[in-house]
Structure 1
Amino acid sequence: MDLTFYKYQGTGNDFVVLDNREQNIQLSQEQVAFLCDRRKGIGADGLMLLQEKEGYDFEMVYYNADGRVGSMCGNGGRCLVAFAQFLGVVEDQAYFIASDGPHKAFLKDGLVHLQMKDVDEVEDLATATFMNTGSPHYVKQVEALQDLDVFQEGRAIRYSGRFKAEGTNVNFVEHLSENKLFVRTYERGVEDETFSCGTGVTACALAASRAGYKSPVHIQVLGGELQVSFEQEGQSFRNVFLIGPALQVFKGEISL
Structure 2
Amino acid sequence: MNLTFYKYQGTGNDFVIIDNRQAVLSKNNTKLFARLCDRKFGIGADGLMLLELPQNEEDDFTMVYFNSDGNESSMCGNGGRCLVAFAAFLGVIRDKATFTAIDGKHKAEIKDGLVYLQMQNVSEIEKYDSHLFLDTGSPHHVTMVDDLIHYDVTNIGRKIRNGAPYFETGSNVNFVEKKGEGLFAVRTYERGVEDETLSCGTGVTAVALSMYTTKMTNKEEVSIKTPGGELRVTFKETKNGYEDIFLIGPAEQVFKGEIIC
| Other-structure match for 1:141 | 144
Identity of aligned residues (%): 57
Deviation at 1:213, TM superposition (A): 3.4
| Equivalence for 1:36 | 37
Aligned length: 256
Matching residue of 2:171 = 168
Say whether 1:240 aligns with 2:257. Answer: no
* 1:44-70 deviation digits (Å, cap 9, x = unpaired): 000000000122100000000000001
State the Cα distance separating 1:2 from its structure 2 match: 1.5
Q: Distance in 1 between matches of 2:239 and 2:204?
A: 20
**Equivalence for 1:112:** 115
**C-alpha separation in 1, matches of 2:92 and 2:141:** 35
- Structure 1 residue 4 corresponds to structure 2 residue 15: no
1:176 Cα deviation (Å)?
A: 1.3
Over 3 Å off, 4+ runs:
none
Corresponding residue for 1:16? Answer: 16
Q: 2:229 is aligned with what amino acid?
A: G
Say yes or no: does 1:183 pair with 2:179: no
Structure 1 residue 144, shift from structure 2 partner: 0.8
Give the corresponding residue for 1:219: 224
Counterpart selection for 1:251 from 230, 239, 256 = 256
RMSD of aligned alpha carbons? 0.9
Deviation of 1:179 after TM superposition, in Å, equals: 1.1
Gaps spanning 5+ residues in structure 2: where?
none
Identify unmatched segments of 5+ residues in structure 1: none
Task: Report the Cα distance in structure 1 between the residues aligned to 2:126 and 2:240, rounded to whole angstroms.
Answer: 10
Q: TM-score, normalised by structure 1?
A: 0.98
Q: Deviation at 1:236?
A: 0.3
Deviation string 1:134-159 (CA, Å, 9 cap, x unpaired) is 00000001111111010011001001
Distance in 1 (alpha carbons) for counterparts of 2:105 and 2:138: 14
**1:153 is matched with which residue: 147, 152, 156?**
156
3-state secondary structure, aligned to 2:230: strand
